[in-house]
Amino acid sequence: MPQTNVGLQILPFSKEKDTYALVDKAIEAIQQSGVRYEVDALETVMEGELDDLLEVVKKTIYATVAAGADEVAAEVKIHFRPQGTSIEEKVGKYRKIENDQTK
């Protein structure tokens, strides 16, 4: 199966629990899955086989509820290409540039 990228933003709602702590539980579920991933400010991007990544999405939702979320909304973006795709091909060229706004 080709490598796929899935972007996941978990939006937990809770009257009693801290939102960031709930998002941490979702990220923990991703970490435990063993898939390649990168966390940024607005979403986590995962790389792997599509079926595996969709299972991880479900696990993050269940983990967030288990941690105390009253409900969870999730935004999922999928980039599937039959020959495969990677996080590195999308953003690798930007990692090599020093981002210095003072120059």
Cβ contact 80:50 at 8 Å: yes
Of the pLDDT bands very low, low, confident and very high (cuts 50, 70, 90), residue 100 is low
**pTM, two decimal places:** 0.87
Top-confidence residue, 100 or 73: 73
Structural domain spans, the chain? 4-95
Choose the weakest-confidence range: 3-7, 75-79, 84-88. Answer: 84-88
Is the CA virtual torsion 56, 58, 60, 63 positive or negative?
negative
User: What is the average per-residue pLDDT within 62-71?
Assistant: 98
Residue with tokens 């990228």: 5
Question: What is the SS3 assignment for 7?
Answer: strand
* pLDDT tens profile 13-34: 999 999 999 999 999 999 999 9
CB atoms within 10 A of CB 4: 21
Q: Let me know if domain 4-95 sits in CATH 3.30.70.930.
A: yes
User: What is the average per-residue pLDDT within 68-82?
Assistant: 97
Quote the pLDDT of residue 16.
Answer: 94
Residue 30 is encoded by which pair of tokens? 């991703």
The mean of the pLDDT values for the chain is 92
In angstroms, the CA 10 to CA 86 distance is: 21
